[in-house]
Amino acid sequence: MQLVYCWRCQMEIPMLDEAEWAVVGPLIMQRDGTPPFGREALAEYQRITGFPETNPAALWHHRISLYGPPCTACGKPLRTPQAKLCAACWAPRQPIGTTPDSTNGA
């Protein structure tokens, strides 16, 4: 679990790593016919993270592997691992190991 800015929720949210997702993911899809849908997934997410999420659909995007690295300009995560620019500040993605100043020859 890691706190990461969620662009959908507009705040830092505990994001699940793949091991944690392997536990919570199947619970989101589990439907036993009794409302409310996703209550087991929400309970497990809260047990893992300590965060009392109320919307089971939000858990689908609270997974670290869905996001890219932090933007070198603003620090928010890129929306996908393949993103070429930051959707928060529109800065272009910098190659790994560089800073914004090191790419222009300064």
The domains of the chain are located at 2-103
Q: pLDDT tens digits for 57-106?
A: 899 999 999 999 999 999 999 999 999 999 989 999 887 666 555 555 54
Tell whether the torsion through CA atoms of 80, 19, 45 and 39 is positive or negative.
Answer: positive
> Residue 47: its pLDDT value, please?
97
pLDDT of residue 98: 60
pLDDT at 100: 54
3-state secondary structure of 25: helix
Q: What is the CA radius of gyration of the chain?
A: 17
Q: How confident is the model at residue 76, as a pLDDT?
A: 93
What DSSP string describes 27-42? HHH---S-SSTTHHHH
Strand extents, DSSP E, the chain: 2-6, 11-15
Coil, helix or strand for 92? strand
pLDDT tens sequence across 35-57 = 567 889 999 999 999 999 999 98
